[in-house]
Structure 1
Amino acid sequence: MRLDLEGVTAHIDARPIVSDVHLTAGPGEFVALVGPNGSGKSTLLRTIYRSLRPSGGAVLLDGRDLWRMRPRQAARHRAVLPQHGQVAEGFSVAEVVAVGRHSHKRPLDRESVADRVAVATALERVRMAWAADRLMTTLSGGERQRVLLARALAQEAPLLVLDEPTNHLDVGSQLLLLDLIRSLGLTLLAALHDLDQAASYADRVVVLRDGQVVGHGTPSEVLTPRFIQEVFGVRAHVGPHPLTGRLHVAVAPLENSTRDSRQADEAEAGM
């Protein structure tokens, strides 16, 4: 599945949040969307979720306009792992994952063999088959996120869109989830806060600032120390990771900001 955003512009309360965004994720490609807070990452993803209609441009899936598809048809092409996945209490893991099958069924259809196989397969892929009968409320944060990923996989859509999928997870759960996502073989578009994760896992990086694309290319092309300082206002070291060999980004405050902060603390202490 190929995703193309062609000149996408989106407004909220008549205020432009993203403007004239062009972005492509090719079949099987992992594209990371990064940028400072307020740069428009989540707003842009909402135009792909179909929760915010673009005021300009088009969202295309293999050349077809996503917003001209019926909701069930769109859900068969594109699955979503949102930043804040809400799950009602009292539901088992298998029941939550089965929600992902709704796009394959008519309103009164009962669960089919194909549905059960899809749910079981999705849980196996995220290594949560052991918890199928467990209540969601009994799981850790990392386990819940993997179940929500399984729910998206149960849709059997070739495009997966993720909004900060590692948010609020401990470091081990973050790496496990990213390894799982990277291994899926799907077309992936993920908004990420962590530049090191984008550098390590993505095939290409798209950088947003003030609602516009200011950089795009491979991680090594885009995530240079000078560019990171310009966009994010931090110092950066970029090089091979000492353990994995992947591209690694380490950041620190700018020297002046560190000095100013220290001087302010000292002045406050002397008051």
Structure 2
Amino acid sequence: MSQKTALVTGAARGIGLATSKLMIERGWQVAMLDRDKEELEKVSAELQHATAFYCDVSIPSEIDQTVPAILERFGRLDAVVNNAGVAHFGPIEGTDFETWRTVMDTNLDGVFLVSQATADALKKTRGAIVNIASISGLRASTLRVAYGTSKAAVIHLTKQQAAEFGEFGVRVNCVCPGPVRTKLAMAVHSQDIIDAYHDAIPLNRYGSEQEIAEVIEFLCSERASYVTGQIIASDGGFESTGIGLPSLRS
């Protein structure tokens, strides 16, 4: 019961899986949440000190059932990583309200609901919340009206949470990944898009899931004990270079 415990949403793949693995390496025990039950069970079975919890963070009743189960299993909660998210890319006029709500339900409502459900447990341990937004929440881009707006809202929600939870010793920060070299990104990004990103990013490359996980784990740890309310772009400098990738616009 004395080993620190982290809850990671969207943990079955990508940044969530990389974060779960890294936190376990650093001595954490991890509650891995995802709505993809089959993939979650497969990846969590390969990890020690990890327990899988099937949960769709956009559904309040599932969160209400899952958080008590996590506390019963581990006895404490020291960090929450709100990573679960969905993406939709399309023009504003082609984004119907159902699509808009689907994105908001997971990307924004899920962060609010999980944070709210775990607040009391985090107050007891003076723990930390790390919300995962996106570079798309910091800078506008085409075809991202729902996704970018949801992530911008997460950024502001982070500041609200930091202001309110600080008096209880709970730190809240936000990580905004830039372009990350995931299997999905490499499958859908044409060479023109890859080249355009490289030209626009000062470090001249995509980031890795591991690099994003390092930032997240740091913010969860005591090494970041005086860091709260911060929005950290882990993006190779992309946010500093303005907007407008012609290959993406076309």
Alignment TM-score, normalising by the size of structure 1: 0.31
Higher fraction of strand: 1
Larger gyration radius, structure 1 or structure 2: 1
- Structure number with the bigger relative contact order (C-alpha 8 A, sep ≥ 6) is 1
Between structures 1 and 2, the one with greater helix share: 2
